[in-house]
Amino acid sequence: MLLAFLYILNKKHVKFSNRVFAGLGLGILFGLVLQVIFGATSDIIAGSVAWFNIVGTGYVKLLQMVAMPLVFISILSAFSKLKLGSNLGKIAGLILLLLIGTTAIASTVGIISATLFDLDASQLVHGEEERERGATLEEKVTEVSTLPEQIVELIPANPFLDLTGARSTSTIAVVIFAAFLGFSYLRIVRKERETSKTIKKAIDGIYSLIMGVVTIVLRLTPYGIMAIMARTVATSDFGAIYNLGKFVIASYIALITVFIIHLIIILLSGLSPIIYIKKAMETLLFAFTSRSSAGTLPLNLKTQVERFGVPEGIANFASSFGLSIGQNGCAGVYPAMLAIMIAPTVGIDPLDIRFIITVIVVVAISSFGVAGVGGGATFAAIIVLSALDLPVALAGVLISVEPLIDMGRTALNVSGSMVAGITTSRITGEINKDVYNNPKMKELGES
């Protein structure tokens, strides 16, 4: 009935953004009703969630379906749409600097928040589920490579395998493969002008085709968000959230602080942070509910280009790089907080300046190759804790609040990549300020 109601709103031509917020509100209310009547662990809820997932998880999978082809064609398209030459290296360098720099800042904020709230992993309650989670994390430590091995893993040996997303580093491997093709295209531009025109026409055609699929899928956003929120609220363990409330609050204070830093960066770029919040809200809302940076890629890209006036080339680089490099929430705030929490359990003073500097450096370096899907934060935490020689099992006690915190982390990841695109295009003077400042917004779900 609720899905039908959203469909009726669509037929009545209610604005797309209003339908998205309606889906969010209906999902939360429906989830609360189910939680109150049946309880989070009831068989009825479990059976219902399986049906919710057809709409919610199905929607996220459709976005993930188009994410890898979109990453590939976006990077390739960037080479044909940017003002190429000396600008290309500067643009890529600025984007990477902003992504990694903000991640280092995010880790610092995470350290401060964990310290102010006096978070200590040894004080947390260990139940059976938490112990099982800890054992699983310890097993995964054996899968974590050394830093040189991690760098080698970024190189695509089989790009067709990486296009399937088979590895945790597949996204960045696809970016590298597409970049090689892009540089090859530039060589052809200089030597074979007519051939380059044919290649560009093919790239533009495939890009239009992929973006057409993106538009079709995005029209399902209100339904997907409603189903995701209904499932999340109905299955949340509010008792566990209450018991770990200090960690949840500390995490969100850190995430909100980093988001404010994003707004300060926008302000220092000479642009309005208020406009940024207004125009980015739908995309950040979807990232929050879906918990998937990769799934949010199409919205991220369309928001940068259509609402902020970022050139397609820069937007393609920023949104694609942001999937696996410098994720402020998952690879910045979260592993830094865990390191500070776990350090006292092995006799390390978390306030030791050398330890703090080591954490920030390790977090920044380890932020390369973090997958933009659910579980990316866990992967980042394992890498950081292993590099610092800290026990990873203690991170398992947070399993019950992981989904709640992951929602905020993912939204911050996406915000970081958008800020990188906006700031880079502002520094290079290529942003369309008329589009950025225009109060009218093109609906993301429309072509």
Lowest mean pLDDT among 160-174, 247-261, 321-335: 160-174
Number of neighbouring beta carbons within 10 Å of residue 21: 15
State how far the Cα of 398 lies from the Cα of 298, in Å rounded to an integer.
Answer: 30
Q: 150-158: long-range contacts (C-beta < 8 A, 24 or more apart)? A: 150/366, 150/368, 150/369, 150/383, 151/368, 153/369, 154/368, 154/369
Cα distances (angstroms) measured from residue 178 to each of 85, 203, 317, 321, 372: 17, 12, 11, 12, 18
pLDDT tens figures, 212-234: 888 888 888 899 989 988 988 88
Residue 83 above 60 pLDDT? Answer: no
pLDDT score recorded for residue 129: 52
Concatenating the DSSP letter of every residue in 321-366 gives HTTTB--IIIIIIHHHHHHHHHGGGGT--TT-HHHHHHHHHHHHHH
Exposure class string for 293-319: b at 16+ Cβ within 10 A, else e? bbbbbbbbbbbbbbbbbbbbbbbbbbb
Cα distances (angstroms) measured from residue 41 to each of 10, 49, 153, 243: 34, 11, 40, 18
Cα-Cα-Cα-Cα torsion 60, 65, 69, 75, nearest 10 degrees, comes to 10
| Confidence category of residue 273, pLDDT binned at 50, 70, 90 | very high
Cα-Cα-Cα-Cα torsion 395, 399, 404, 410, nearest 10 degrees, comes to 50
Residue 62 above 60 pLDDT? Answer: yes
Q: Do the beta carbons of residue 206 and residue 4 sit within 8 Å?
A: no
Cα-Cα-Cα-Cα torsion 370, 374, 379, 380, nearest 10 degrees, comes to 50
Q: pLDDT: is 268 or 155 the higher one?
A: 268
Q: Do the beta carbons of residue 412 and residue 329 sit within 8 Å?
A: yes
State how far the Cα of 293 lies from the Cα of 72, in Å rounded to an integer.
Answer: 16
State how far the Cα of 106 lies from the Cα of 101, in Å rounded to an integer.
Answer: 9
pLDDT tens figures, 102-141: 999 999 999 999 999 988 876 654 545 545 555 555 555 5
pLDDT score recorded for residue 234: 87
Q: Do the beta carbons of residue 60 and residue 228 sit within 8 Å?
A: yes
Q: Where are the alpha helices (DSSP H) in 12-144?
A: 16-38, 43-81, 86-116, 128-141
Cα-Cα-Cα-Cα torsion 137, 139, 142, 146, nearest 10 degrees, comes to 0
pLDDT tens figures, 343-387: 888 888 888 999 999 999 988 887 775 654 455 667 677 778 877
State how far the Cα of 379 lies from the Cα of 324, in Å rounded to an integer.
Answer: 12
DSSP annotation of 157 reads: S
Name the residue among 307, 286, 305 with its Cα closest to residue 295.
286
Exposure class string for 93-125: b at 16+ Cβ within 10 A, else e? ebbbebbbebbbbbbbbbbbbbbebebbbeebe
- % of residues, the chain, pLDDT over 90: 32
pLDDT score recorded for residue 79: 82
The count of C-alpha atoms lying within 13 angstroms of the C-alpha of 149, restricted to the half-sphere facing its C-beta, is 6
Give the type of residue at 46: A
pLDDT tens figures, 429-446: 989 999 999 987 776 655
**Beta bridge partners of residue 325, listed in sequence order:** 368
For the chain, give the mean pLDDT. 84
Provide the 3-class DSSP secondary structure of residue 368.
Answer: strand
pLDDT score recorded for residue 133: 54
State how far the Cα of 97 lies from the Cα of 92, in Å rounded to an integer.
Answer: 9
Residues 6+ apart with CB under 8 A from 213: 66
pLDDT score recorded for residue 446: 58
pLDDT score recorded for residue 130: 47
Cα distances (angstroms) measured from residue 109 to each of 93, 255, 359: 24, 8, 12
Q: pLDDT: is 165 or 183 the higher one?
A: 183
pLDDT tens figures, 380-423: 777 788 778 887 766 666 666 777 888 899 999 999 999 999 99
DSSP annotation of 119 reads: -
Q: Write the burial class of residue 430 (CB in 10 Å: 0-12 exposed, 13-18 middle, 19+ buried).
A: middle
- % of residues, the chain, pLDDT over 70: 86
Average pLDDT value for residue range 61-89:
77
**Beta bridge partners of residue 368, listed in sequence order:** 325
Residue 99 above 90 pLDDT? Answer: yes
| Confidence category of residue 190, pLDDT binned at 50, 70, 90 | confident
The count of C-alpha atoms lying within 13 angstroms of the C-alpha of 20, restricted to the half-sphere facing its C-beta, is 21
In this structure, what token pair is assigned to residue 32? 């609360």
Which span out of 20-34, 153-167, 266-280 was modeled with the highest average pLDDT?
Answer: 266-280
Instruction: Residues 2-437: name the CATH superfamily.
Output: Sodium:dicarboxylate symporter (1.10.3860.10)
Average pLDDT value for residue range 47-74:
87
